[in-house]
Amino acid sequence: MLSPVIESLADQYEGKVLVGKVNVDEEPDLARRFGVMSIPTVVFLKNGQEFDRKVGVMPPQAFSGVLDTNL
């Protein structure tokens, strides 16, 4: 459900932002490290530090707004 949005953001911000996806069933330690309690969760990091987080399905503009504000 969210995968096409994430892939679109990766294309849209190519060269500006590194976008990745994690399967929490395959990486439970990473999910725990970032405190992921619900799926989907999108964590925004800058210089290794979390600066925003979105939980739940949201329109693409919710994510691009965060990225545009922090670029």
Which SS3 state, helix, strand or coil, does residue 43 take?
strand
pTM: 0.88
Cis peptide before 40 (omega within 30 of 0): yes
Closest to 39 in 3D by CA, of 26, 61, 47:
26
* pLDDT of the chain, 71 residues: tens digit per residue: 899 999 999 999 999 999 999 999 999 999 999 999 999 999 999 999 999 999 999 999 999 999 999 99
Burial of 58 (0-12, 13-18, 19+ CB in 10 A): middle
